[in-house]
Chain A
Amino acid sequence: MKTRCKRFLERLGHFQAMLLLTVMFVIFLTPYALLLRLFGQGKLPPGEWQKVVEQQAELSRLRRTF
């Protein structure tokens, strides 16, 4: 019984998470994406060489996660 309850709660949690992600995608992300596109933003990079701006040897850069 305990296992069944646990499995049910897991599935419920999974369903809620998926629902939340769907809402996020449809309500927030998609309109924002369409707006960006309207103003010519949000494009993916072209297939051309890009200059590497940030070298990673400095400690201050290595401390950052971004």
Chain B
Amino acid sequence: MNVLGISAFYHDSAAALLVDGHPVAAAQEERFSRIKNDASFPEQACAFCLQHAGITSADLDAVVFYDKPLVKFERILHTFLNRAPRGLNMFRQAMPAWLKQKLWIPRMLHQQLPGATEYLYSSHHFSHAASAFYPSPFTSAAILTVDGVGEWSTCSYGVGCDDAFELHKELHFPHSLGLLYSSFTAYLGFRINEGEYKVMGLAPYGEPKYLDLIFDQLVDRHADSSFALNRKYFGYLDQLSMTSPSFHALFGGPPRQPEATLEQRHMDLAASIQKATEILMLDLANEVHRQTGEENLCLAGGVALNCVANGRLLREGPFKRIWIQPAAGDAGGSLGAAFIGHLALGGQLPHKDGDDLMSAALLGPDFNDTEIIQALDAANLDYTQMETPTLLNTVAAELAGGGVVGWYQGRMEFGPRALGNRSILADSRQTDMQHTLNQKIKFREGFRPFAPVVLEELATEFFDLDVPSPYMLLVSQVAEQQKLPVTDSGTGLAMLDTPRSTIPAVTHVDNSARVQTVNDRQNPLFTQLLKTFEQQTGCPVLVNTSFNIKDEPIVCTPQDAVECFLKSGIDALAIGPFWIKECGEL
């Protein structure tokens, strides 16, 4: 049975294909269109999925859209009715897209993917819940989904068992943890649905001085872990901004302009909303545990990409085991929708033998040597073809010598993280590597931290993490034995200048790290590279950051990789079996 799931028209559109219940292909449209967070219909992602399986749309048993467009439209109209006569500008901005496009999704599905047997519509949080539970390694688990907003729901929980799940309760718009976080993201001068990572990365530079204010004025927490937002402070109901003038007055000034200097106040605000989010997530997890009694938790929704909160859930929460959908945002909704369609049509889930069904999230396209050679020749690059052991030794030696290497191998990752197939790699022991990568390679804000990748079996030597973290969705502290004594490291961005551990390039200013663990089973080549690096240096930890530069999606094709290599200051490129060293900048 072939079922194609689709998410589109909000942000990060994507397609995912299940064949007999196995996810065989999935990708975000942005990787093909090269428009970051592309929300348009995922035409190219659909084409890739079908091509990968060698089928056409007529071979599909179902096309499943990830939400119910008319219910979403009802929520939007209802909100306008509630706010009128305010909200005229927002009405004028929102309606054209609905009238021209979003109300005609069924027609669009029939046109773009003709001949499928069924065209189905899941709902937003059911799609998230399905993406969290069905591919997880658990046969029984509690499910928690938290994001900005779907149709009405902003957060939901329930229980999954074998081939079915039920959602029990949900919180409705406008009371949304995702929108609360996004409001602060916008207020701090970052783009919503994209800058949330930056807020999370900025938080450790500040103190949560505004936490009490957030819980006194903005968020009313209830005993059952539900919460209400004070609408007076938010603009997203009827204005073109996320926050209202009352919000600005409460936090001491207008929103920060995108390129303005980051002040200590901004860092304190980031720390405060991050702390508030962690507390609310812990509240929710406790309530879900009380209500369900389950030992396992499956998480999805955009807020589940907050890996600092995830780390706290794991350490301080009531659940023994946690699994987070690697494409936890809306892109992953396509996968959940496909699972829902597959099961509704009478399909069964594949047997889970302790592993999840995500194939290490390596569900995107791959390219053969001929295609890679074409891209290299087109760019007039000198390359050397190597056997795998030689390539691994060469890459490891380059990294050990302080070089930055573009690592492009196999199938592209599904979800926001580069997990070792479309990555930029560097030596985690180099003190100035964080600065070099931010300023010279990726051209992004200097405060942003980098994530480590470590051999799974050696993770506990370097991090306080006793579970695998294959999808880089858990933040933990660097292990005590790796920490260096620090007397006074200053405040704010000055904290960056102090080395804090034996792996300073991946140790954030609060000694935390967003860890990825790898093993031979999930990504053998990448694991071999880490082993080779360890043999050469004694250190099994590398910096792993996505293969892209600021404001661009992660590379997809060999052409994208070559282009990014030429535009950035990457020292060398390992693409398939080919090695390219230093080409100079364009």
User: Which positions in A face B, CB cutoff 8 Å?
Assistant: 17-18, 21-22, 25-26, 29-30, 32-34, 36, 42-52, 54-59, 62-66
Kindly supply a per-residue 1/0 record for chain B positions 441-478, scoring 1 wherever the CB is within 8 Å of any chain A CB and 0 otherwise: 00000000000000000000000000000000000000
Instruction: Give 24 CB contacts A-B under 8 Å.
Output: A18-B92, A21-B95, A25-B84, A30-B85, A33-B80, A33-B82, A33-B85, A34-B85, A43-B82, A44-B78, A44-B79, A45-B175, A47-B228, A49-B169, A49-B170, A51-B169, A55-B126, A57-B340, A62-B64, A62-B341, A62-B344, A65-B70, A66-B70, A66-B71
Contact pick for A65, options B69, B87, B226, CB 8 Å: B69
Does A57 contact B226, Cβ atoms closer than 8 Å? no
Which of B25-33, B114-122, B390-398 forms part of the interface with chain A? B114-122
- With A25-B91, A30-B85, A47-B171 known to touch, is A55 a contact of B120 (CB < 8 Å)? no
Segment 322-366 of B: residues with Cβ below 8 Å from A: 340-341, 343-345
Additional pairs, 11, CB under 8 Å, beyond known A52-B166, A59-B120: A21-B96, A25-B91, A26-B85, A30-B85, A47-B228, A50-B171, A51-B169, A52-B169, A55-B167, A56-B122, A56-B340
Does A48 contact B228, Cβ atoms closer than 8 Å? yes
Does A50 contact B172, Cβ atoms closer than 8 Å? yes
Q: Closest approach, in angstroms, between the C-beta of A28 and any C-beta of chain B?
A: 10
Q: B88 contacts which chain A residues (CB < 8 A)?
A: 22, 25-26
Docked Cα-Cα span, A46 to B393, in Å, equals: 60
Does B82 contact A47, Cβ atoms closer than 8 Å? no
Q: Closest approach, in angstroms, between the C-beta of B347 and any C-beta of chain A?
A: 12
Docked Cα-Cα span, A43 to B231, in Å, equals: 13
Q: A34 contacts which chain B residues (CB < 8 A)?
A: 84-85
> Which residue of chain B has its CB nearest to the CB of A44?
B82
Segment 245-291 of B: residues with Cβ below 8 Å from A: none
Q: A62 contacts which chain B residues (CB < 8 A)?
A: 64, 120-122, 340-341, 344
Segment 38-96 of B: residues with Cβ below 8 Å from A: 64, 68-71, 74, 78-85, 87-88, 91-92, 95-96
Does B158 contact A52, Cβ atoms closer than 8 Å? yes
Does B341 contact A25, Cβ atoms closer than 8 Å? no
Does A29 contact B343, Cβ atoms closer than 8 Å? no
Chain B interface SS verdict (over half):
mixed
Q: A55 contacts which chain B residues (CB < 8 A)?
A: 126, 166-167
Docked Cα-Cα span, A41 to B69, in Å, equals: 23
Docked Cα-Cα span, A43 to B123, in Å, equals: 22
Docked Cα-Cα span, A48 to B170, in Å, equals: 8
Segment 107-158 of B: residues with Cβ below 8 Å from A: 118-123, 126, 152, 156, 158
Q: A33 contacts which chain B residues (CB < 8 A)?
A: 80-85
Q: B81 contacts which chain A residues (CB < 8 A)?
A: 29, 32-33, 36, 42
Q: Closest approach, in angstroms, between the C-beta of B175 and any C-beta of chain A?
A: 4
Does B345 contact A59, Cβ atoms closer than 8 Å? yes
Segment 154-210 of B: residues with Cβ below 8 Å from A: 156, 158, 164, 166-175
Docked Cα-Cα span, A55 to B126, in Å, equals: 8
Tell yes or no: B229 within 8 A of A by CB.
yes
Q: Closest approach, in angstroms, between the C-beta of B527 and any C-beta of chain A?
A: 38
Docked Cα-Cα span, A59 to B224, in Å, equals: 33
Does B68 contact A65, Cβ atoms closer than 8 Å? yes
Docked Cα-Cα span, A18 to B158, in Å, equals: 43
Does B228 contact A46, Cβ atoms closer than 8 Å? yes
Docked Cα-Cα span, A11 to B529, in Å, equals: 56
Does B91 contact A21, Cβ atoms closer than 8 Å? yes
Tell yes or no: B383 within 8 A of A by CB.
no
> Which residue of chain B has its CB nearest to the CB of A42?
B81
Docked Cα-Cα span, A4 to B178, in Å, equals: 43
Does A57 contact B343, Cβ atoms closer than 8 Å? yes
Does A42 contact B78, Cβ atoms closer than 8 Å? yes
Q: B345 contacts which chain A residues (CB < 8 A)?
A: 59
Docked Cα-Cα span, A38 to B327, in Å, equals: 45
Contact pick for B105, options A36, A49, A65, CB 8 Å: A65
Does B118 contact A56, Cβ atoms closer than 8 Å? no
Q: Closest approach, in angstroms, between the C-beta of B84 and any C-beta of chain A?
A: 4
Q: Closest approach, in angstroms, between the C-beta of B6 and any C-beta of chain A?
A: 13
Q: B222 contacts which chain A residues (CB < 8 A)?
A: 47-48
> Which residue of chain A has its CB nearest to the CB of B163?
A57
> Which residue of chain B has its CB nearest to the CB of A18?
B92
Tell yes or no: B401 within 8 A of A by CB.
no
Contact pick for B68, options A29, A58, A66, CB 8 Å: A66
Does B168 contact A65, Cβ atoms closer than 8 Å? no
Q: B92 contacts which chain A residues (CB < 8 A)?
A: 18, 21-22, 25
Contact pick for B96, options A17, A36, A65, CB 8 Å: A17
Q: Closest approach, in angstroms, between the C-beta of B54 and any C-beta of chain A?
A: 26
Q: B216 contacts which chain A residues (CB < 8 A)?
A: none
